[in-house]
Chain A
Amino acid sequence: MAAAGLRAMVGVKRVIDYAVKVRVKPDKTGVVTDGVKHSMNPFCEIAVEEAVRLKEKKLVSEVVAVSCGPQQCQETIRTALAMGADRGLHVEVPAKDYESLSPFQVSKILAALAKKEGIGLLLLGKQAIDDDCNQTGQMTAAFLDWPQGTFASQVTLDGDWLKVEREVDGGLETVRLKLPAVVTADLRLNEPRYATLPNIMKAKKKKIEVVKPSDLGVELTSRVKIVSVEDPPQRKAGVKVETVEDLVAKLKEIGRI
């Protein structure tokens, strides 16, 4: 695949804003989302930024932003368009089905779209900060039978190959992947740009195509069911100590040092 014709697709998820303290619903079915501030998942922003940078370096010809979910996802796609994506794809999932939508179904949708759109590089965030699954990129790569570069902190295109530096437990490692490939972004990959007002205005003119999972032949049934969502155990309030001596004495008393 010639790099000049490389098309990139970026998956973006709309999640509760990272700074919001979530509240569990009293009926234990989930967390309160109505009337709560939502934004683009921070890792998805990083993926969009990377795709746009590759386009600016003329290594990628087109950037397609895709999101799965209810109508409001279009705002998230608009944000990606304002950051520099060329067009959007909204895979419309009604609110009712969205509650049980998991990385399993999203991966099948993304894999189908990647094939349909002739994508050579799929960029995703490493995890969504709501479900904290860290699965979608890996699963999409599997469904496509493409190699995967997860937790990427650096991405370099080199002809038909992609060099990816990954954040692993003991430090960093570098792998080389044959395109087409899937990459998931870690925090350190880049610093996402802010969309400027003129770009936000321009983004309104860019196209968002709406498709349905059924158009892509993807079933939304889930075999993993949420039984309950509850508050985690609360920690007991602690005490303030006045001096280092106090602190050391307290820690000795309970046998921690």
Chain B
Amino acid sequence: MFPKLLKAQRLARRAVSLLHRFQSTLVIAEHTNEAVSPITLNAITAAKRLGGDVSCLVAGTNCEKVAQELSKVQGVVKVLVSQHDAYKGFLPEELTPLILAAQKQFNYTHICAGASAFGKNLLPRVAAKLDVAPVSDIIEIKSPDTFVRTIYAGNALCTVKCDEKIKVFSVRGTSFEAASISGGSATVEKVPAASPAGQSEWIEQKLTKSDRPELTSAKVVVSGGRGLKSGENFKLLYELADKLHAAVGASRAAVDAGFVPNDMQVGQTGKIVAPELYIAVGISGAIQHLAGMKDSKTIVAINKDPEAPIFQVADYGLVADLFKVVPELTAALKK
């Protein structure tokens, strides 16, 4: 009886591993033509969780360096490269036909990317062309067809089972570790570019220049809200951030008031961060802001209103005037 049961278990396990072997995932690499974007490494970790082969697609105007970088990432078996001038600006109208062609050739069971502005723009278009419903911004993979994601600004966790023939999903970067950038040995294969769609044209970009770490991957984030009162006062936060090697974020109120550019917004509709330390300064803690930072390991709140909702999620709260205590904090860190 007992050995029989064990045998059945073994068989079941083998069936599962067999199933896993049939999984193959294509990760759409996000990059700058110079370097791989960090969120791609988080997406690769999620892809590895599925148990099958992981391939990466690099499309752009200049791919060689990025393809080399990705071929060394642990867990990637194949890097597909397509270089063409039509991929300037990574327009979804141009990238989608390329991904469809790769899908036709290699029959992936899963296609994914990081849930960044790039991934969110591109993947639903790909899914629709494949006539499947995509799954956005997943935070956990329970099995190759079952994913967890948040809804209602992170106030509920929704587990979904996707019975589509191809699972198309975007990955929340902060929910998966970055894959190691060494130890891999993927083959690099060129794929032909699709013929240009010509419906859209990339004109220019205006990027916010900063020496500070990138917001979504920083270990420490210092954020300011309406309480800062002006854009000039944000310099208090920059000084504090420099002491902590932190990135600087903002609430919607601070962005709307014009204190800082909108790519610094943390929240449901801005960026989602989960640093080791998040310091919220002059931020009340509206539902929409909490959605973007409540998975931070340690949260510190500095606010003069003891009733501010931010104190309900803060590990350490300081009820005080930020104009007094932020310079004090900066000075204390100098020692």
**Which of B120, B125, B164 makes the CB contact (< 8 A) with A223?**
B164
Number of A-B residue pairs, CB cutoff 8 Å, is 242
Nearest neighbor of B313 in chain A, beta-carbon distance: A235
- B window 261-317: CB within 8 A of A: 261-263, 268-269, 271, 276-277, 287-288, 294, 297-300, 311-317
How far does the Cβ of A133 sit from chain B's closest Cβ, in whole Å? 5
For the complex, is B14 an interface residue (Cβ under 8 Å from A)?
Answer: no
Complex CA–CA separation, A18 to B155 (angstroms): 12
Give the interface SS of chain A, mostly helix, strand, loop or mixed.
mixed
CB-CB under 8 A from A168, the residues of chain B are 117-118, 205, 263
Give the interface SS of chain B, mostly helix, strand, loop or mixed.
mixed
CB-CB under 8 A from B92, the residues of chain A are 138, 148
Is B206's CB under 8 angstroms from A172's CB? yes
CB-CB under 8 A from A135, the residues of chain B are 124, 127, 134, 136
Is B129's CB under 8 angstroms from A142's CB? yes
Is A232's CB under 8 angstroms from B157's CB? yes
Is A244's CB under 8 angstroms from B93's CB? no
Is B154's CB under 8 angstroms from A232's CB? yes
How far does the Cβ of A125 sit from chain B's closest Cβ, in whole Å? 10
CB-CB under 8 A from B136, the residues of chain A are 132-135
How far does the Cβ of B36 sit from chain A's closest Cβ, in whole Å? 14
Is A139's CB under 8 angstroms from B127's CB? yes
Given the contacts A167-B262, A238-B316, A257-B333, A138 and B125 also touching, CB distance less than 8 Å:
yes
Complex CA–CA separation, A256 to B277 (angstroms): 7
Complex CA–CA separation, A227 to B143 (angstroms): 13
How far does the Cβ of A54 sit from chain B's closest Cβ, in whole Å? 19
For the complex, is B156 an interface residue (Cβ under 8 Å from A)?
Answer: yes
For the complex, is A170 an interface residue (Cβ under 8 Å from B)?
Answer: yes
For the complex, is B158 an interface residue (Cβ under 8 Å from A)?
Answer: yes
CB-CB under 8 A from A227, the residues of chain B are 146, 159-161
Q: Which of A74-82, A89-97, A199-207, A246-254 participates in binding chain B?
A: A246-254
Interface residues of A, CB < 8 Å — how many?
A: 81
Is A143's CB under 8 angstroms from B91's CB? no
How far does the Cβ of B332 sit from chain A's closest Cβ, in whole Å? 5
**Which of B133, B134, B244 makes the CB contact (< 8 A) with A222?**
B133
Nearest neighbor of B264 in chain A, beta-carbon distance: A171
Is B132's CB under 8 angstroms from A223's CB? yes
Interface residues of B, CB < 8 Å — how many?
A: 87
CB-CB under 8 A from A256, the residues of chain B are 220, 276-277, 297-298
Is B151's CB under 8 angstroms from A130's CB? yes
Complex CA–CA separation, A24 to B159 (angstroms): 13
Q: Which of B2-10, B79-87, B196-204 participates in binding chain A?
A: B196-204
**Which of A31, A136, A169, A251 makes the CB contact (< 8 A) with B152?**
A31
For the complex, is B11 an interface residue (Cβ under 8 Å from A)?
Answer: no
Is A178's CB under 8 angstroms from B199's CB? yes
For the complex, is A176 an interface residue (Cβ under 8 Å from B)?
Answer: yes
**Which of B89, B146, B208, B316 makes the CB contact (< 8 A) with A247?**
B316
Complex CA–CA separation, A21 to B155 (angstroms): 8
For the complex, is B77 an interface residue (Cβ under 8 Å from A)?
Answer: no
Complex CA–CA separation, A227 to B148 (angstroms): 10
CB-CB under 8 A from B91, the residues of chain A are 175
Is A132's CB under 8 angstroms from B137's CB? yes
Is A238's CB under 8 angstroms from B314's CB? yes
How far does the Cβ of A159 sit from chain B's closest Cβ, in whole Å? 14
Complex CA–CA separation, A239 to B298 (angstroms): 12
Complex CA–CA separation, A257 to B198 (angstroms): 51
CB-CB under 8 A from B163, the residues of chain A are 223-225
What are the 10 closest A-B residue pairs judged by CB atoms, nearest first? A142-B128, A138-B124, A104-B133, A173-B205, A139-B128, A135-B124, A171-B207, A147-B199, A238-B315, A147-B200
Known contacts A104-B128, A224-B135, A224-B160, then 5 further A-B pairs from the complex at CB < 8 Å, ordered by chain A residue:
A168-B263, A235-B312, A238-B313, A239-B316, A247-B329
Residues of chain B whose beta carbon lies under 8 Å from any beta carbon of chain A: 89, 91-93, 96, 116-118, 120-129, 132-137, 146, 149-164, 198-208, 216, 220, 244, 252, 255-256, 261-263, 268-269, 271, 276-277, 287-288, 294, 297-300, 311-319, 325, 328-329, 332-333
Can you list 8 A-B pairs with a CB-CB distance of less than 8 A?
A132-B268, A168-B263, A169-B263, A223-B164, A224-B164, A228-B158, A240-B317, A247-B329
